[in-house]
Each structure stands twice: as C-alpha cells, then as structure tokens.
Amino acid sequence: MRGIYTNILHAIGDTPLVQLNKVVGRHDARVLAKLEYMNPGASVKDRMALHIIEEAERQGVLKPGGVIVENTSGNTGVGVAMAAAVKGYRCVFTMPDKMSQEKVNRLKAFGAEVVVTPTAVPADHPDSYYETAKRIHRETPGSFMLNQYHNKLNIDAHYR
C-alpha cells in the first residue's frame, strides 16, 4: 500500500512495473510489464480520462456541475464515470448494443446515463454511437465531449 488517498482519483497512476524473467533470456534486454489493470477502474484508460477532464477544467471548457458526453465501449467510460462521480459532473455515454449488460450496469453504478445505439450502422450514420454522442453534446448546453478518438490529450496522457 502506497498510502491513504483522499479520494479514488489519487489512486490512478503509479502502477507497478514487473520484470518478465521467462520471456527473454538471461543476456537479452530487460523486459518490464506495466500493470495498468491495477488502476482503480482496472484500465490504462483511467489515466487518460482523468488527464483530459483535468485539462478541460484548467481550460475552462468543463465547469462545475457540467455534463460530460462521450461514446464508449467500456474502459474509457469507466474512467470518465469514476472521475465525474468524484468531481460532481453528470455523464451521458453512448454505447453500441453489442456491449454486455454488465458494462452498461458498471457505468450506471457510477451514476452515468447510458444511451444504447445500434451496432449495425456505419460510423457516420445518425444512429451510430459516435454521431449520437455528438448530437447529445450539441443539444446539451455547456456540455463537454471528451472525444477520446480525436483528442490529442489522449496521446499526451499515455506519453506522460
């Protein structure tokens, strides 16, 4: 245990590195595995979600009591929902109908609203989970869309 954290968000990051001794020979390169599943949401996406949310707060595009909108198939949504629950934001996620009910329930357990959309439509179709999230964002005054697939802060979070 690294200490007592004042909230779950402080437990994100600083995941352990473990040397893999059986993957390479004694005289080969040292190979390390980063155990990102040890983040509180069980994914590296916790880092990215928190990083983007905190940068949006710094830039003033996400304000107290705001709404975060995002399309997700699971792990990013968990990271966002967890951060939003701690920070007091409302979350609306769009998710394709091929995702398990357990994934939907996990997001809802954090207080998120989940809009399930059809899987069998092209990405640019108005009913896709991408386009539905964009529409909800446009129709929700003061909302912030994380935009995980096209947000440069996603890359920045993994680099950091």
Give the active site residues.
45
Nearest of 153, 136, 9, 120 to residue 71 by alpha carbon: 136
> Which residues 6+ apart lie within 8 Å of 23 measured at CB?
31
Nearest to 16 by CA among 42, 35, 43: 35
What would the DSSP string read from start to end of 106-117? HHHHTT-EEEEE
* DSSP letter assigned to residue 129: H
- 52 CA to centre of own chain: 9
Question: Which tokens is 117 given?
Answer: 């959309």
